[in-house]
Amino acid sequence: MKKFLMTILSAAAVIACQNANPFLQEWDTPYGTAPFSKIKTSDYLPAIKEGIRQQRAEIDAIIANPDAPTFENTIAAYELSGQLLAKVTGVFYNLSETDGTPEILALLDEVTPMLSEAEDEIFLNPDLFDRVRAVYEASEGLDREQQMVTKKLFDRFVRNGIALDEAGRARFKEINSRLAVLSQEFGKHLLAENGAFKEATGITVPAYPDFMSSCEDRALREKTFKAYSSRGNHGDANDNNAIALEILKLKTEQANLLGFATPADYILDNKMAGNAGTVEEFLSKIMAASMKKAKEEIADMQKVMDEDVAAGKLPAGTKIAPWDWWYYAEKVRARKYDLDESLTKPYFQVDSVRKGVFTAAHMLYGINFEEATDVEVYNPVVKAYKLTDADGSLIGIFYCDYFSRDIKRGGAWMNNFREQYVNAAGEDVRPIIVNSCNFPPATEDAPSLLTVDEVQTAFHEFGHALHGFLSKCRYGDVSGTNVTRDFVEMFSQINEHWAFEPEILKQYAHHYQTGETIPMELVEKINNALKFNQGFVTGELCAASILDMAWHELDSEDLAPIKTADDVRAFEEKVCKEMGLIDEIIPRYRTTYFNHIFNSGYSAGYYGYLWSEVLDRDAFAEFEKVEPRVNPALAKKFRETFLEKGGSEEPMTLFRQFKGADPDPSALLRGRGLE
């Protein structure tokens, strides 16, 4: 009787927990958006555990199915599994990046290994793999999207070590768990370092370029540069050297287990580039062209610096140093192009720029936007919008989170709260997407006014959002931005081209005080200046890409002698010298704050920004051939060929369908003014 009573009480407790936890209930909210005000930090852990339990049961059911494996009872069934877990983590991971309170970050430490183990349970399960392999080996009769999703799932098993023996699978699982923890630790350290940088200098990391462009005090610029470029490299509790090294050594061990000599060999095996040699050749040409241009830029800046020397502002013989570049480049730009950011910023008030982003999407793709005041947001500065197609059908819900705050990680990104897919009832589930940036918030004295670079960032991130919103796939694993790393940036970068298109600018770029439309002569200056300073801009980006590749091309023997922070710095210095990087420029990201490759999935993949730019600039050339350039007919072809297809076809196949030819590698150099 006592045992029976305890069972009843236990069941009642579970039911009570479910009733109290919003994740364990259906969301009776507009468009299935998250009821943020009802979610407590304490809700995440039990919901994640329940999500893992439910997906485990769903996977067990697939394996236990007595029928022969088919696409529907195996691949499609897997695609529809784990919906509760996706629902919880979609909220949790987004908020850990935008509103990373100490409680959320502590929970991140707890759930990360748990989620890694749950994933390994799936992708190291030989019984499930046997069914997936059976479908893969008989996939000729499937349609193209089904073939792609099947191949992607099959490859995921293989690349996660399913073919290893029992000891190998166990070790692979251990490494996955440790890597998950280390990656989160790297990101947490960097967030703390960004806070320490602000405390030491009085400026935020996102405000660094503006500060360095305008600060007249050379000693202060030097101090700020050194603080910025040494983040995660102080030998204290937030030092990232040991973490980066352990990550690299574990990735190398994983690659070795799968028969690859280096992480780069393993990572690039299923990317567009295919191998490290192709990437190296691609980057070396860009580096040579950018450094040639950078030396010309130094000569121009030195002339201005010499004037300051002559005026007694600087000691005789002073030469351009890394901490001088932003400052003197801005002076050269003002002279060469008569372009002063203080004159452009008033036309780029943040609300106007958001309007411009939306206007471009409407003019090109017929998308309509309205503020969704009935949709709850997770932070008061966030705005929600409902997107509909020209026929009135729902496209999705957009959260716009533009402003920096102390508990938000640096940079800018697009992410999904919910991806597009077709559910078991055959309904097209529309995506819920966020763009997060770190633009300066308004102050008591002035509204939020954006630089030319920040305007491009807003358009860039919405290019990713369009890729997610306009997806018309059936399966989540290939919908939207679920494409290879060296393809995904094509769509964000091509959207940047519309930021300063005169036809679009006149719709949104209005002076925040007078309402005056931006003068065409100022537009011409902006567009002319976009190719300015490209030796530096391209060089620091290319240098970071080469540094990323250099780390991931080391085999276990190469890594063995690299043990200390001094060894890490020495290796980085050696790589920079060998790539031809001049002393006045450092990589955009140095090892200890290279979040992309140690915490954001871009390992041996940071080159993808430049690789995708070849595709983007060559594809955009098609718009440059037609009149008007903002051409809905051509945009419709772009939408149907690329944006609706996601990863349901090979990238090069889609590019050839749109362009009618392979990409032209010189398009990037021409577009950046480096040829």
| Distance, CA of 357 to CA of 456 (rounded, Å) | 10
Rounded Cα distance between 381 and 401, Å, is 7
Residue 437 burial class via C-beta count within 10 angstroms: exposed 0-12, middle 13-18, buried 19 and up: buried
pLDDT value for 19: 63
| C-alpha to C-alpha distance for 302 and 300, rounded to whole angstroms | 6
* Cα distance between residue 190 and residue 575, in whole Å: 23
How many angstroms separate the Cα of 224 from the Cα of each of 176, 201, 207, 406? 37, 7, 12, 19
pLDDT given at position 392: 97
Stretch (H or E) spanning 531: none
Q: Which two tokens stand for residue 630?
A: 């903002």
Query: Which helix (H) or strand (E) is 515 found in, with range?
Result: none
Residue 341: predicted pLDDT: 85
pLDDT at 10: 45
376: Cβ contacts below 8 Å, ≥ 6 apart: 29, 33, 34, 35, 36, 37, 384
Write phi, then psi, for 3 (nearest 5 degrees): -65, -40
- The answer for residues whose C-beta is within 8 angstroms of residue 409's C-beta and 6 or more apart is 97, 98, 100, 187, 190, 191, 194, 595
Helices 534-552 and 241-257: crossing angle, nearest 10°?
60
pLDDT at 482: 97
Tell me the two tokens of residue 263: 């992480």
| CA–CA separation, 398 and 530 (whole Å) | 29
Query: Looking up tokens 């947490």, which residue turns up?
Result: 188
Contact (CB, 8 A) for 397 and 94: no
Spatial distance between the Cα atoms of 60 and 35, rounded to a whole number of angstroms? 31
Q: Where are the alpha helices (DSSP H) in 160-240?
A: 166-201, 208-214, 218-229
Structure confidence by residue, pLDDT tens digits, 223-253: 999 999 999 999 999 999 999 999 999 999 9
**Which sequence positions are flagged as catalytic?**
461
CA distances, 575 to each of 201, 278, 553, 568 (Å): 29, 18, 12, 11
How far is residue 669's CA from residue 667's CA, in Å, rounded to a whole number?
A: 6
DSSP strand pairing (394-403 vs 432-439): parallel
Distance CA 419, CA 652 (A): 24
Q: Is 208 helix (H, G, I), strand (E, B) or coil?
A: helix
Please identify every stretch of the chain with a pLDDT value under 50, giving residue numbers as ranges: 1-16
Other C-beta atoms lying within 10 Å of the C-beta of residue 507: 19
CA distance 220 to 212: 9
Question: What values do phi and psi take at 312, rounded to 5?
Answer: 85, 10
Contact 487, 272 (CB under 8 A): yes
* DSSP labels, 3-14: HHHHHHHHHHHH
3-state secondary structure at position 392: coil
List the beta bridge partners of residue 415: 434
- Please choose, from the candidates 99, 158, 92, the residue with its C-alpha nearest in 3D space to the C-alpha of residue 124: 158
Structural element, H or E, at residue 368:
strand 368-371
Whether residue 267 contacts residue 653, with contact meaning beta carbons closer than 8 Å, is answered with no
Predicted confidence at residue 342, as pLDDT, reads: 87
Q: What is the reported pLDDT for 587?
A: 98
Q: Are 383 and 377 within 8 A, CB to CB?
A: yes
Instruction: Annotate 302-324 with DSSP letters as a single string.
Output: HHHHHHHHHTTSS-TT----GGG
What tokens appear for 162 in the block?
């399913």
Q: How far apart are CA 515 and CA 534, in angstroms?
A: 32
Predicted local confidence at residue 475, as pLDDT: 98
- Find the angle CA(369)-CA(374)-CA(380) to the nearest 5 degrees: 90
Q: In what order do the strands lie in the sheet with 413-418?
A: 368-371, 383-388, 394-403, 432-439, 413-418
CB 108 within 8 A of CB 172: no
Residue 32 per-residue DSSP state: G
